[in-house]
Structure 1
Amino acid sequence: MNEFLKELSSAKGKHFWDGKHSEIQGVSVDLSATKDFRPAADLQRKFDFIWCTEKPLSDLGWKIRLDELIRLIADEGMVTFSYIQNEFITIPAVKSFLFRKYGINASLKFESISSGVITNSYQIKRNTVVSKNLWTFGMLTQGKKPELVEAFCRSIREFGGAEHEIIICGPYSSLLDKYQVRYNDKAYSDLHAEICKKKNDLVAMATHENIMLVHDRYVLNSDFFTGFDKYGYDFDFLTVNQFHASGKPYPGYCSIDDRGEMFWGQISECTDYKKSWHSHYLNGGLLIGKTALFKEVPFNDFIYHNQAEDVELARVMMDLKIVPRLNTYSSAKTDVPDHLTNAFAKSSVSDLENRSFANGSFDFYFSDTPSDPISKLMLKGVGFLGKSYFMRNREKISWKVICQRFFKKVCRSISFRVKNRYFNNKTVQYLYAKKWQVRHALLGDRKRPDLHQGVNVITNFVEGGVFNATCYMVRQLIEEGIPVSLYNVYPQDHSNIKQDFPDLEKYVTTRLKYPTNILSDGFPFNEKSFVRLNGILKGRYNINYTFWELPKIPKRLAQNLKYPDEIWAGSDFVRDAIKDANGKIKVSTYPLKLKIKEFYGQKYDRNYFKLPANKVLFLASYSFSSGGARKNQDAAISSFTAALENENAALVLYIHLPKPKELTMLSEYELFKTNIKNQYKDSVIILDQRQTSYEEQIGLKRACDCYISLHRSEGYGLNCAEMAEVGNFVVMTDWSGSDDIKKDSRWNGLIYPVKYELVPVKAADFVWVKPDEEGLQQWAEIVHEDAVNKIKQVYLLASERYRKSEVSI
């Protein structure tokens, strides 16, 4: 041992030896024998001298191991360690790590290099204080999951006690009163989910050292606090084990295949906790750290929800040499469905290993790429040998499997080149389109299989009227005893079905098993849909469940009617338009028997929406995005104010805000709000849409007395049907698909149809009308005086309801 090191080994103070064969007097623990190099909690911040020379740092875990060695130092001490340079660790990398590491001041006191082994001694001064075990829990919620938020707060109090702080960034909930929570009541953008600003504001409000920033999909498990007692409170930035409700692990400790300046690739769940990853990150749904750290290293305020704020933050943390960690002793549970994390790959092989070995480079560098065929072939051979070495020696894969994978890769490469050269996307789409047209011409009318053999309902799980109508249709099929499977054409997100129609979630599948498909999509998209979904539509009987808002179908769109074997129209109005376009099409109305459970949405009352309790409330939708001309939404305002502006009534405008791509409308929307408030005072109430759940929308309809829809045309009119189904009045145009609602005997006495006159449709007012088709299409223009009279009639009836309820009380 060097003289300096000998003198250091005999210095007064507490010594720690990392290994089994200690050469000094002190505590000896082999950190490499642990699953993550983490020393026991009672050893943290206890020593003056740390030794790691028995097993030199040489592998991918050197940053994690060195970080843990530093955590053994009390406030100031010496860390002596050895390392061997390779593709993972170098002299400049080590010195950069210690010089720039957050939370310490380091000075190099000794260095020697002998037989390729570098030995350093650093004086380390720690700038962080001794950690306490008090927590701030900051939860982000939109108010859609009050029961889950309540369960989260309950788990904190049940397992951790009353001394911890809970801050909710979201709407007030009376369910949380008994848990002593605080609220962040700042106002945020209605257009963008300012997730980073919210998290930074929660950090600013926090009063305890340790903070968890969590989304409203988690509940703590009973081992959370006891696990941290075991893990220790000397940490910077980490997460805990996370599980689905089924017990399946939920990826929280992750890496993303970053092939450039944050260009994303495959996401992996990291399962080897002794390895560093170049693109490490912690899933942003549950992040833990020191409050002081998050104040110094905040989230990026410019990043909105679903823009990888967690990946960007982890990158900044790693630039500060903060190693993302996982506490495997503590855990939490999420309500996220199992299948939503199937896209995550499990990997014990770091992206740094893949970069070093799997790309076949092996530190072979060429100043110029070879141009002659022989040299290119030799370079390919070097790459193949390098990958084979990695697979054989690192992943323990047999030569047989290696050769099979190589052969498959060559076949895929040849197939890709041929397709790319001779069969580009346009060619493929054209061929598939012709195939379906020929199939229809040859087969003609096919006999539909018995529906009781089962149907696959194929739709897009995106919130909206078509999706909601489809879910009601699925419920009807189930009630009729027909086996059903639900297939999402965009399978990345099933959140809407889980949130709004949880009873149907168990029918969601990625494998279609029944002989009949029901494609729930507008028929004008049939050509594209049948090409894109060719793999799941071919070989089955295909029904198109569709809506349409005009009495005629132009010839340019009529060809889309030939793709399915049969069409189910959402109303008689839609059926007649299709029959008029092509009398040979097999089309029928599938009547929607809307059913809403008696108590569904009742918890979202007037108090929840901050609506006046003592007024008769009329409700109207107002879109600041698209479709305003067809909805004729300004007519609802003018008719209501003409009828009842000075009465004890108010019109609630449920606003659909501009889409992100239509942000030019934002200033127009702000001006609209100002004008409405100045002109109508409290007679018209604007209720911004804040990504409300479907149950909240039904609750809003229950809270109001009448729905006004003076539309020029509707394919069905689901809002009107929902309002009638919950027992409230509807004033609506007496034309188009909504006529089916008027005919439904269940809602007799609730529907007040408004007279109309048919007028031509202008191309500027409807997306499916071209300038040369303006003479073809017509829709309804309501008679203003009749709309005013119908609103007055409903007001009197609704007022009578209130008087009767007051008498009964």
Structure 2
Amino acid sequence: MAKLGLIGRMRRVLRVRANCPPDAVTPCWLHGGRLPFGLDVVGYLRAEIGLGEAARLIVRAVDAAGLPTSPIDIWLPGRDADRSLDARIGQPARHAATLTVSGALDLPEMAERLCRGRTNIHYTFWELPKTPEELGPAFDRFDACWAPTTFVRDVLVASQTRPVHLVPQPVALPEEAPAPPDFRGPLRILTFFDYESAMVRKNPQAAIAAFRLAFPTGREEARLLVKTRGRSGPQARADLARLAAQDPRITVVDDTVSRDEMAALTQACDVFLSLHRSEGFGLGNAEALARGKAVVTTDFGGTRDFITPETGYPVEYRTVPVPPGAYPGADGSHWAEPNIAHAAQMLRDIHDDPAAAARRAQAGYRLLRRNHSFAAVGARIAELMEPLR
């Protein structure tokens, strides 16, 4: 009887494999048949979070390559405000391969969705130099991993046994290089974080400290906008508000806005400042660079692929252990503690030499177009998909 119960439980799991073709006899991998060539993208496609935008951008890169695809949404309660792919989500067509876009800690849940009748690939985001050992069985459920940055690629090669390929995170780029920034008036600096991505990792307190060190109180040549969103305990918000209130030149905008509104905030700034302790990719940094902004960011994690001394202002750091309980899955790992004095000096350099900042930003746009445009990433995806034909 115990054996029959186990089989019954297995059947119930197989029936809810959300990535299977909707009209397939379950379990679909038992009745044979061959799905048509193509790559479906699974992710938080309606969620207004970084992982959601990353998945939507992957869809656009797959489209740019001319590959057949069907977007498959994973509902994230309370975070489903982006409806740009609604007309395509829920299409009945399914294809021979599936790319699941998520953070590493979501792997066990994502593995339960898999259809065994397909080639299953995971596009992995992770912020630390190693992944938790307990994720090994979930990684093994996938056929391969794609990594958005060299940082994540190296982590995956060291952490699990599946094949790993670098597929740069695509970024939406204007067709023409942005005009050089106009630094008339106060230098406008933007920093951004989502409470859902962990305030301790995003480290907005360091951005505020670097701003105040670069431009002491009483000097009016700079402004700092702290843009945030997401859910958190009231204490974290109160602490941030109290810190910002010490300087009238600092404004906090705490709200979820549309992609167009966020793009307008980025467009209105001169400098994007991110003193993170680590990033898997750093989409905010890349989007600011795409708009011709000077980017000052910790020289650790995924941002190293596109923020260099030629394209931006990488900030020195020292390696420190992640404090116990500070970040999920971080036991025994480390990250960066940015040098606030170095970041402050870079902010002053930008203020004093805007022409040099403009040259770096324009070089950054060219690097993004070469490596992170929809066409470039789409070509890389098509190359990796070719054996499946």
Letter paired with 1:648: E
Map of 1:680 onto structure 2: 247
* Structure 2 counterpart of 1:456, from 16, 37, 40: 40
* Structure 1 counterpart of 2:221, from 648, 664, 675: 648
Tell me, yes or no, if structure 1 residue 794 matches structure 2 residue 350: yes
In structure 1, distance between residues paired with 2:72 and 2:195: 31
- Decide which structure has greater strand share: 1
Letter paired with 2:142: P
* Structure 2 counterpart of 1:487, from 43, 64, 72: 72
Map of 2:198 onto structure 1: 627
Map of 1:710 onto structure 2: 275
- Shift of the alpha carbon at 1:652? 0.4
Does the CA contact (< 8 Å) of 2:40 and 2:70 recur in 1?
yes
In structure 2, distance between residues paired with 1:730 and 1:797: 14
The sequence identity of aligned pairs, in percent, is: 27
- Shift of the alpha carbon at 1:622? 4.3
Does the CA contact (< 8 Å) of 2:69 and 2:94 recur in 1?
no
In structure 1, distance between residues paired with 2:195 and 2:109: 28
Does the CA contact (< 8 Å) of 1:639 and 1:784 recur in 2?
yes
Does the CA contact (< 8 Å) of 1:569 and 1:590 recur in 2?
yes
In structure 1, distance between residues paired with 2:197 and 2:157: 28
- Shift of the alpha carbon at 1:668? 5.5
- Shift of the alpha carbon at 1:763? 2.1
- Shift of the alpha carbon at 1:497? 4.2
- Shift of the alpha carbon at 1:505? 4.2
Does the CA contact (< 8 Å) of 1:523 and 1:544 recur in 2?
no
In structure 2, distance between residues paired with 1:794 and 1:598: 26
- Shift of the alpha carbon at 1:557? 2.0
In structure 2, distance between residues paired with 1:626 and 1:492: 16
Distance of aligned partners of 1:786 and 1:675 in 2 relative to their CA distance in 1, 3 Å threshold: closer
In structure 1, distance between residues paired with 2:143 and 2:357: 49
| 1:12-161 paired onto structure 2 within 5 Å | none
RMSD of the TM alignment (CA)? 3.3
Letter paired with 1:596: L
Q: Deviations over 1:187-223 (max 9, x none)?
A: xxxxxxxxxxxxxxxxxxxxxxxxxxxxxxxxxxxxx
| 1:101-250 paired onto structure 2 within 5 Å | none
Q: Deviations over 1:471-520 (max 9, x none)?
A: 1121111111112211113399996443xxx3x44432342421111111
Q: Deviations over 1:520-550 (max 9, x none)?
A: 122332222222x24xx22011111111101
Tell me, yes or no, if structure 1 residue 573 matches structure 2 residue 151: yes
Does the CA contact (< 8 Å) of 2:47 and 2:76 recur in 1?
no
Does the CA contact (< 8 Å) of 2:131 and 2:329 recur in 1?
no
Map of 1:526 onto structure 2: 107
| 1:240-279 paired onto structure 2 within 5 Å | none
Map of 1:723 onto structure 2: 288
Tell me, yes or no, if structure 1 residue 539 matches structure 2 residue 105: no
- Shift of the alpha carbon at 1:623? 4.4
Q: Deviations over 1:665-701 (max 9, x none)?
A: 3365346424522x212x2111121x20011111110
Does the CA contact (< 8 Å) of 1:654 and 1:688 recur in 2?
yes
Q: Determine helix, strand or coil for the equivalent of 1:654.
A: strand
Count of residues in correspondence between the two structures: 328
Q: Deviations over 1:8-34 (max 9, x none)?
A: xxxxxxxxxxxxxxxxxxxxxxxxxxx
Does the CA contact (< 8 Å) of 1:731 and 1:751 recur in 2?
yes
In structure 2, distance between residues paired with 1:424 and 1:649: 66
Letter paired with 1:719: G
Does the CA contact (< 8 Å) of 2:312 and 2:357 recur in 1?
no
Letter paired with 2:128: L
Q: Deviations over 1:347-390 (max 9, x none)?
A: xxxxxxxxxxxxxxxxxxxxxxxxxxxxxxxxxxxxxxxxxxxx
| 1:401-412 paired onto structure 2 within 5 Å | none
For the pair shown, the structure with the greater C-alpha radius of gyration is 1
In structure 2, stretches of 5+ residues that fail to align are: 18-34, 177-183, 359-389
Distance of aligned partners of 1:491 and 1:790 in 2 relative to their CA distance in 1, 3 Å threshold: closer
- Shift of the alpha carbon at 1:718? 0.3
Letter paired with 2:347: I
Letter paired with 1:466: L
Distance of aligned partners of 1:521 and 1:624 in 2 relative to their CA distance in 1, 3 Å threshold: closer
Map of 1:514 onto structure 2: 95
In structure 1, distance between residues paired with 2:295 and 2:185: 20
Map of 1:783 onto structure 2: 339
Tell me, yes or no, if structure 1 residue 466 matches structure 2 residue 51: yes
Q: Deviations over 1:97-136 (max 9, x none)?
A: xxxxxxxxxxxxxxxxxxxxxxxxxxxxxxxxxxxxxxxx
Tell which deviates more after alignment, 639-648 or 718-727: 639-648
| 1:287-306 paired onto structure 2 within 5 Å | none
In structure 1, distance between residues paired with 2:167 and 2:51: 14
In structure 1, distance between residues paired with 2:36 and 2:118: 15
In structure 1, stretches of 5+ residues that fail to align are: 1-417, 436-450, 600-612, 803-809
Letter paired with 1:733: T
Q: Deviations over 1:612-669 (max 9, x none)?
A: x942110112445651111122110001110013241111011225x2xx4xx33653
Q: Determine helix, strand or coil for the equivalent of 1:556.
A: helix
Does the CA contact (< 8 Å) of 1:733 and 1:754 recur in 2?
yes
Distance of aligned partners of 1:641 and 1:430 in 2 relative to their CA distance in 1, 3 Å threshold: farther
Q: Determine helix, strand or coil for the equivalent of 2:306.
A: helix
Map of 2:313 onto structure 1: 752
Distance of aligned partners of 1:672 and 1:513 in 2 relative to their CA distance in 1, 3 Å threshold: closer
Q: Determine helix, strand or coil for the equivalent of 1:764.
A: coil
In structure 2, distance between residues paired with 1:685 and 1:424: 58
Q: Deviations over 1:248-284 (max 9, x none)?
A: xxxxxxxxxxxxxxxxxxxxxxxxxxxxxxxxxxxxx
Map of 2:181 onto structure 1: none
| 1:598-613 paired onto structure 2 within 5 Å | none
Tell me, yes or no, if structure 1 residue 478 matches structure 2 residue 39: no
Distance of aligned partners of 1:674 and 1:622 in 2 relative to their CA distance in 1, 3 Å threshold: same
Normalised by the length of structure 2, the TM-score is 0.75
